[in-house]
Amino acid sequence: MDNLTHSLFGLTLARTPLGRTGRGATVALLLASNAPDIDIVATAGGAAKYLEWHRGPTHGPLGIVGLALVTAVIATFGRRLWDRRSTEPTAAFLPLWGICCLGVLCHVLMDLPTSYGTRPLSPFIWSWFAEDWMPIVDIYLLMMLLAGSLGFGRPSPAVRRNKAAVVLTLMAANYGLRAYAHRQALELVPKVFGPTLAAWCDPNDSRNRPIDSWPRPTVPSPPPEGRRCLVDVAALPTFGSPFQWRIVAHYSNAYEIRDIDLLDGRFRDSDVEDEAPWRVTLRYPNVWTPTVMQAAQTHLGQVFLGFSRFPAARSAVDAQGTTAVRWTDMRFTGAVVPGERALAQSRLFTAVVRIDTSGRVIYEGLGR
């Protein structure tokens, strides 16, 4: 989630009984709700370092406990220094640390349902996890939190607690609707792709996992020559409506992307065996040659492939015989979410490795 959403959620928590912990609780919850994103300091080492560390240890168990401790210390001494005239009792340190742990944990839990994902077990396990319910910026969630934060005059504590309860209830309903719509989108995959949908590479695989994770520990066996198989499929949320989804089908040699609207009756009424003209497909090749495999062993290749959930590989040879290997993360191709569109235009989601005729790596970098 974006930091504005995290901040507004922290303020909402401060209006619940958690805010009665004492002086400093509101500041502590606001700081704790944003603390895990301190990993942005990794950008000082370059874009690749940012990908390597973003949503890593600061979003894991050690980060939750450690960042909460630092936040509680800052809130405790900050309020004592800057608000000495207040008659409100200062929150005891241990309860303040406890609510900071909750604030940091909620940040991680709000990142988990996004298609971007997070690494909640790092540094012990560096795998990414995601539930694909929410876009990176959810306008409906933002409006709920903003409405709960706005007010005129000085409402009583009881009024603030009631508003917070209403906002939290609406948030739960929003998450529930997104989760249900996500399941419906996945169930429509056979109708969306019709007879072009290939069989699974692994017959025992399915897309019924409650939480997806990557990179996968094993690579599926290649299909028989001249045939393709289905490696994975995902339904990614969009910005405008909880009923509009982007389906990404990961085949053994390509990706196919299709947008669907769950309210479109044609998906419900059409026969699975029929291929209708309104089914528009974007297809991206994904060919792993020996040179691509070599590029994948570079430092940049390891970092990018560890981050990218759907890396599409392409390679081209120039007139001098130099091979350019390029990976693009299909989650951010043709992004329809404003926040995701800005991300897609950044340098983070395309990696390039150039290898000369002698097999020497002469360039590694992010961006087009």
**Of 183, 199, 220, which residue constitutes the final position of a domain?**
183
Q: 236 and 147 share a domain? A: no
H-helix or E-strand containing 311?
A: strand 311-317
Q: 166 and 30 share a domain? A: yes
**Contacts by 219-226 with C-beta closer than 8 Å and gap 24+?**
220/252, 222/252, 223/252
Nearest in space to 181 (alpha carbons), one of 264, 250, 271: 264
Our measurement of the distance from residue 277's CA atom to the centroid of its chain's CA atoms, rounded to an integer in Å, reads: 32
Q: 192 and 208 share a domain? A: yes
Q: 157 and 17 share a domain? A: yes
Q: 177 and 316 share a domain? A: no
Q: 150 and 219 share a domain? A: no
**Of 183, 218, 242, which residue constitutes the final position of a domain?**
183
| Distance in angstroms (rounded) separating the CA atoms of residues 15 and 149 | 9
Q: Cβ(131)–Cβ(108) under 8 Å?
A: no
Q: Cβ(238)–Cβ(245) under 8 Å?
A: yes
Q: 88 and 166 share a domain? A: yes
Give me the tens of pLDDT residue by residue for the chain, a chain 368 residues long. 899 999 999 999 999 998 888 888 899 999 999 999 999 999 898 889 999 999 999 999 999 999 999 999 998 887 766 666 666 667 788 999 999 999 999 999 999 999 999 999 999 999 999 999 999 899 999 999 998 887 655 677 788 888 999 999 999 999 999 999 999 999 999 888 888 888 888 777 666 677 899 997 655 556 666 678 888 999 999 888 999 999 999 998 899 999 999 988 776 665 544 545 445 678 899 999 999 999 999 999 999 999 999 999 999 999 899 999 999 999 988 644 444 444 444 567 999 999 999 999 999 999 86
Q: 34 and 158 share a domain? A: yes
| Distance in angstroms (rounded) separating the CA atoms of residues 28 and 26 | 5
**Of 183, 205, 237, which residue constitutes the final position of a domain?**
183
Q: 232 and 149 share a domain? A: no
Which tokens in the block code for residue 247? 């389906």
Q: 141 and 241 share a domain? A: no
Element counts in the chain: helices (H) and strands (E): 12, 10
Which residue's structure tokens are 């198989």? Answer: 229
Domain count, the chain: 3
Domain of 18? Answer: 3-183
Alpha helices in the chain (DSSP H): 3-14, 25-32, 47-53, 61-82, 93-111, 139-149, 157-187, 189-193, 265-269, 290-295, 299-307, 338-344
Q: 157 and 179 share a domain? A: yes
Q: 178 and 69 share a domain? A: yes
